[in-house]
Structure 1
């Protein structure tokens, strides 16, 4: 049924509730919506606004209920459809979210809030090309909103339209000079030089915003990158330490939880040995620690005519979580990972395959390059008998440094180790022991380690070997990966559009003095040859 008659008074109340909601005056907005519903229980808009408030506070289950009530009254409410999609994607229910967003988009909404939210939903679903026109329309409708310009710029960056991305980021900074998201992005997508760099703007922004731990992270990381570009290794490390200090102090990182995950994964490698689900799709999983070349290998393989990149997908972990029935509030924890030993492996493989097919249309040979899938490798190979897992390895010291240098999503706790240099080194040690065990237990025709340095040193030989491992014929386009125009939504989105370079090899040597505590840990664990270090 449609909305019941709304009086002029109720319309004014809802208009005011909308303004209060935009100003984050939630209590007053909530009261007005309830007043309208007491007088008129058939107000779809009141339920819609209440749903937005619930979602803003992280109550996405409740928000979905409220959006459903709005849609029961008005099934063509594009705002309710869009915001329901937002809550679904926040709950990692990507297939349903994309379906809901497509329904909303078909109604051709013009409201800028709805438009930008559609962009966010499609971006989070990995559909960056689809997201761009919605961000563009939202920005055109509301050109004075810096966040709209930033979101537009990020989507443009992911699909390789770098000049347009820079313009969008600059438009954001023009409206909000201390917008740490845009300032960081501007620094990351271009090399800083003595004559043209962001240091003055970044230093001013750090002074103005560093009381907030997340702002300090973004600006401090950008300052570190700028100093690195300028050849100031000591200054770069100093800025990283400043950037991470408040966040490291605030989080509750538990190294024992990571070690428990590594131990459980090692156990699974043996427990699932010889077990198999039903034959089906043959995805290629590219895994490992972040910043070790996973995106490079993704670009090489997805340049093949028979291979499509799906980006970093959480679908396998979500499928295991659903089938395991574990009650924890995390997708990945020791209990859920251990449950892979008892779930129906065929059902696990089917659930994963259907998820990526229904949302992204991926069938045949496709790549899933979520680095964290390394923990699921034994379950992946058991549930998907035709899958291949490629694990990237990089020099231990470069791996630790690259993870410490990387600004990961602050809402994603699995990379909390990266806030502290010594924690990075200890995490690497646990990872290294796990992968060494995998190499002894997992089938070598389906699990392969690849050395980043070897790929950089001889790309054609390594590419041929990788293609052979995946059962694919060699194609010259694979060694011209930088010409691949597919979207890249990772920290390497700018670098992988360049021809292969060697400047990141042995980067740790430039920082060796400052890395001493981490290098000591690696050496003591047998991960680093002491002869590689400079004389003490």
Structure 2
């Protein structure tokens, strides 16, 4: 056996057992024996991706994909790396090429493509890919879960429920499936999952992931039955299970807000930004109504929803040389004298293609873009920015009730009620700073105003965005298209007052949060 073959075999074995560092090292040695060979570059690229070295992974996987343009797996892994770098247009193109070459029976490949399409907000293609994965491997709980989630995004609730039930039937320990079923519809005394959830909790009491998902599922179902005090106990236990092992400290987010405020102690000078009002940014605290406004705007015939794009933070990261591992570090890597605002704006818009451009305007509704609103305002001076506001207590409670991606740096604060309160206080301070620094550029919109005066507030939003009035915006709940957010089920119903002042249902359980917000100068009633 040649040295190259031996190194390649050892690298492949290391990859199979999950030893990413060793796999990358051996693949690099094999590549040194035969530079540019697709096989070690494929292994090295996959290993680098697992290690979070995304630019390095792209470099290796590009070699493998270009050398083997008819090999679906090489193309799929390349697409996976590209989507992690928020190079969505290239990722979709590579995924399309992989899909054309894919074997119908390769369930894992189709699932990978579904994930790529989903992250690129190409949800029609994602639904097709996940469907192919289930057809090829109907006994996979993971494939069933992914297909069910896609069905939920498109409002196909009965199909979603069937697939989620299939998921937990195949694997009762697929904890996310139980929470998804609890959240899919309103539970009733005659139809709920409480007995099953309680039994599972008793059997999986030592499993952190189980406690997180099962307690939150119990809380949602008890809440639906009007048993709010019991529900809150489960919300607290579920969130605490993850908070205790996450290593999160509020100082992490305080450092981020401090870095942003230092960077924007005044409006930075420099060249003008990129012209045009194509992008409409809807941002604010999660669970403050951003999805509702996105649905209203995208019901307009001139506007499409692009979903929750990570493209602006990614463009900002590239502008800083892709240095800085944390969000705070990313902000601090933007040079103090940075003045290529037009380049930043143009890079952002280009990165949204081909998802955008079919209609004159599009909505980017990533809530946490509120962190970067100053950069957005400078880079795209004509782009409307809508900052959502909601009763602070309702906002904090809704963040506590919701399970965001546990690994997300954006949502690390969301596992403790007082951590959420502290985060809200810094959000509020930063929001007021943006309004002060960029007068007239940001529309502050209250969720409660939309509920109380849907037509008048909708007209105000359209006027701010420079859009003509259209009655379709009042019928947003009938609009087609995917809703890939935590509000996927909720926003398919018409406007309701049900979610106003929800915090008052919990009484003394929220006294600590209320005191924290009031002491921080926030009006809560």
TM over 0.5: yes
2:117 is the alignment partner of 1:106: no
Report the Cα offset of residue 309 of structure 1: 0.7
Report the Cα offset of residue 335 of structure 1: 3.5
Separation (CA, whole Å) in 1 of partners of 2:376 and 2:21: 47
Task: Pick which of 433-442 and 401-410 moved more.
Answer: 433-442
Cα deviations by residue, 1:269-297 (Å, 9 ceiling, x for unpaired): 73238973131243111111000111011
Partner residue, 2:490:
495
Report the Cα offset of residue 53 of structure 1: 5.3
Separation (CA, whole Å) in 2 of partners of 1:37 and 1:319: 31
Partner residue, 1:439:
435
Partner residue, 1:74:
68
2:303 is the alignment partner of 1:312: no
Question: Pairwise mapping of residues 15-34 of structure 1 onto structure 2 (< 5 A)?
Answer: none
Going from structure 1 to structure 2, the CA distance change for 1:277 and 1:53 (only over 3 Å counts) comes to closer
Separation (CA, whole Å) in 2 of partners of 1:443 and 1:477: 30
* TM-score w.r.t. length of structure 2: 0.89
Partner residue, 1:474:
469
Cα deviations by residue, 1:116-137 (Å, 9 ceiling, x for unpaired): 1111100011111111111111
Provide the aligned C-alpha RMSD in A.
Answer: 3.3
Question: Pairwise mapping of residues 293-372 of structure 1 onto structure 2 (< 5 A)?
Answer: 293-325=289-321, 327-330=323-326, 333=329, 335-336=331-332, 339=335, 342-361=338-357, 364-372=360-368
Separation (CA, whole Å) in 2 of partners of 1:27 and 1:269: 42
Going from structure 1 to structure 2, the CA distance change for 1:28 and 1:474 (only over 3 Å counts) comes to closer
Partner residue, 1:215:
210
Separation (CA, whole Å) in 1 of partners of 2:180 and 2:368: 24
Going from structure 1 to structure 2, the CA distance change for 1:396 and 1:177 (only over 3 Å counts) comes to same
Match for residue 376 of structure 2 among 377, 380, 383: 380
Cα deviations by residue, 1:490-512 (Å, 9 ceiling, x for unpaired): 00000110111111110000012
Separation (CA, whole Å) in 2 of partners of 1:480 and 1:128: 22
1:271 is paired with a residue of what secondary structure? coil
Partner residue, 1:88:
82
Alpha carbons 2:255, 2:328 under 8 Å: kept: no
Going from structure 1 to structure 2, the CA distance change for 1:141 and 1:28 (only over 3 Å counts) comes to farther
Report the Cα offset of residue 258 of structure 1: 2.5
Match for residue 225 of structure 1 among 220, 243, 259: 220
Alpha carbons 1:139, 1:145 under 8 Å: kept: yes
Task: Pick which of 38-47 and 435-444 moved more.
Answer: 38-47
1:304 is paired with a residue of what secondary structure? coil
Report the Cα offset of residue 372 of structure 1: 0.6
2:387 is the alignment partner of 1:391: yes
2:508 is paired with a residue of what secondary structure? coil
Partner residue, 1:164:
159
Going from structure 1 to structure 2, the CA distance change for 1:276 and 1:210 (only over 3 Å counts) comes to farther
Partner residue, 2:455:
460
2:281 is paired with a residue of what secondary structure? strand
1:353 is paired with a residue of what secondary structure? helix
2:400 is the alignment partner of 1:404: yes
Separation (CA, whole Å) in 2 of partners of 1:352 and 1:281: 13
Going from structure 1 to structure 2, the CA distance change for 1:71 and 1:480 (only over 3 Å counts) comes to closer
Partner residue, 2:443:
448
Ranges in structure 2 where 5+ consecutive residues have no aligned partner = none
2:514 is the alignment partner of 1:519: yes
Report the Cα offset of residue 412 of structure 1: 0.8
Report the Cα offset of residue 482 of structure 1: 0.4
Cα deviations by residue, 1:350-372 (Å, 9 ceiling, x for unpaired): 00111112454466311000011
1:479 is paired with a residue of what secondary structure? helix
2:160 is paired with a residue of what secondary structure? helix
Match for residue 171 of structure 2 among 151, 172, 176: 176
Separation (CA, whole Å) in 2 of partners of 1:67 and 1:134: 21
Match for residue 231 of structure 2 among 230, 236, 252: 236
Report the Cα offset of residue 189 of structure 1: 1.0
Ranges in structure 1 where 5+ consecutive residues have no aligned partner = 1-5
